[in-house]
Structure 1
Amino acid sequence: MKDKITKYLKEIALFFIIITIFANILSLYRSGNLNKNALDIQTVTLMNNSSYTLPKNEPILIYFWATWCPICRAESPNIETISKKFNVITIALKSGDDSKIDKYLKNKNLSFKVVNDDDGSITKKFNISVFPTTVIYDKEGNVLFSDVGYTTTLGLWFKMWWANY
């Protein structure tokens, strides 16, 4: 009996390792089309119509998401956690007006900074076509990491930690 349990646990571990490798290869493939230019945005207008100036000489995570995206619903709590410690701006694509997005954020207990990209112009500038997409810029504003699809809190935390050095 113990041998059977050990065998099944090994198979389950192998399955998760293969899925993780596949997901990372897929993310790498999908991120090949992203705009890799240096970040040229200094100020954004958040949903509450306040102006937010991106900090200079600090890394920043930009998260592209949508209220209609099921993977975004799963990843947004990870972004929320990261936003408590690091610089994070989120771009909500074609997710309705500000009140609809605000209602979504409140229902999910999310408080990260949101830019409503209702016409898709910001998302287009970054060449984003799959959601969620996360782009991490280093202190000089250069792309350091990009992920297309779900990313764990630990993975995001490690990448932001790395970007600070």
Structure 2
Amino acid sequence: MTDENVKKPKKGWGSHLKSGAIYILLAFALGWGVDLWRAQSIASGKAPALVATSVQGEQVDLIAMSQEKPVLVYFWATWCSVCTTVSPSVNFVSDGMQVVSIALSSGSEERVQQYLNAKDYDFTVLNDPKAVISRTWGISLTPTLIVVDKGEITAVTTGFTSPFGMWARMLLS
């Protein structure tokens, strides 16, 4: 009998679902590992104090805000290519969550506000033109998202994150 005559068994849906689940689990494990490695320099435990005026003119006290419910802190930049895919998601979730974002090395407040207007973003933005805030927090990569709950850092992620990922981190805080 030759190889041409041997029929290969067809894979059923169960086999495909099992393979898909394994790939999804591997992707989550890899993402979690990369987050742990990248977050080594990022502040942990008690969140650094952050009191400032946003580019929108609002007074922000992060620790006080986090006493009511968790706050998603989003470090980003106008020049960051990955941020261009994450920022729309942050804008989307900002309707139902407290969000404070920090624009790193993105120019003057006027320039940042023009960028926000052009993209139609509504989330609160603190401008960090000389990366003073980001150094205090140990941020070396954009985008970085941090959840602060009752003054404590409860979750950190870097790179691309979906709205579901943001929601899950806030919920699990």
| Superposition TM-score tier, normalisation by shorter sequence | 0.7 to 0.9
Whether the 8 Å contact between 2:48 and 2:136 is mirrored in structure 1 is: no
Change in 2 beyond 3 A, CA 1:84/1:125: same
1:159 matched to 2:169? The reply is: yes
In the alignment, the residues of structure 2 paired with residue 42 and residue 25 of structure 1 have an alpha-carbon distance, to the nearest angstrom, of 28
TM-score by length of 2: 0.80
Deviates more, 1:107-116 or 1:45-54: 45-54
What are structure 1's unaligned runs of at least 5 residues?
none
TM-score by length of 1: 0.83
What are structure 2's unaligned runs of at least 5 residues?
1-9
In the alignment, the residues of structure 2 paired with residue 141 and residue 23 of structure 1 have an alpha-carbon distance, to the nearest angstrom, of 26
Whether the 8 Å contact between 2:50 and 2:61 is mirrored in structure 1 is: yes
The equivalent residue for 1:85 is 96
Deviation at 1:60, TM superposition (A): 1.0
Q: Pick from 31, 39, 45 the counterpart of residue 23 of structure 1.
A: 31
The equivalent residue for 1:145 is 155
Deviation at 1:108, TM superposition (A): 1.9
> What amino acid does structure 1 have at the position aligned with 2:104?
L
> What amino acid does structure 2 have at the position aligned with 1:143?
I
The equivalent residue for 2:140 is 129
* Greater Rg over alpha carbons, structure: 2
Q: Pick from 37, 43, 46 the counterpart of residue 38 of structure 1.
A: 46
- Count how many residue pairs are aligned between Structure 1 and Structure 2: 160
Name the % identity.
29
Deviation at 1:96, TM superposition (A): 1.1
In the alignment, the residues of structure 2 paired with residue 114 and residue 106 of structure 1 have an alpha-carbon distance, to the nearest angstrom, of 12
Q: Pick from 105, 118, 141 the counterpart of residue 116 of structure 2.
A: 105
Whether the 8 Å contact between 1:96 and 1:118 is mirrored in structure 2 is: yes
